[in-house]
Amino acid sequence: MSAATAAPGLLLFSRRAGTVLLTLLLLVAGVWTSWSTAQHVMLTEDREQGTMAVTRCDDTTCTGSFAPAERGAKPRERVVIDRSIGEHKGAKVPVAVKPGSHDVVRTGGPGFLHAWVPLGGALVLAGVVIGGGLRLTRVAWGFGLAGGALLVASFATL
């Protein structure tokens, strides 16, 4: 087999391998980014849980006081949550405190969906890469629709 006849096959293989690696990178990055918040929402046994009363919001965060749901936990005068469309001054938000900090994350169904938003975006992008690079249109539509559904569900619940 000469180099001239092997080159198209090698080029096709490298394009597919690169597309698969890019897709895996997108998905791993989406899960990694989502897990940094989702672990506090999903694994709540060792986390203080309660309600945050939002008193002030700026462009990226909201602050307020924390009232614990269980006895023995201490109330806090000031906790911080990342701002989303659901927080506004005067809102009562169910939250869990990140261990060793004054940062809180929203809990419950809306918090779960909001935590996985980066994965939803990664699924949409992976769908584009799969459709364009691998020409697997059904798989691409599946990834894109799953990511879009996650993003819409998160927006609708906040």
* 28-71 pLDDT, tens digit each: 999 999 999 999 999 888 889 999 999 999 889 999 999 999 87
What is the model's pLDDT at position 9?
Answer: 83
DSSP lists the bridge partners of residue 56 as 63
Average pLDDT per 10 consecutive residues for the chain, totaling 158 residues: 74 92 98 95 88 92 92 88 80 91 92 95 98 95 98 92
Residue 92 to residue 37: CA distance in whole angstroms: 20
Contact 143, 124 (CB under 8 A): yes
What is the model's pLDDT at position 20?
Answer: 96
What is the model's pLDDT at position 85?
Answer: 67
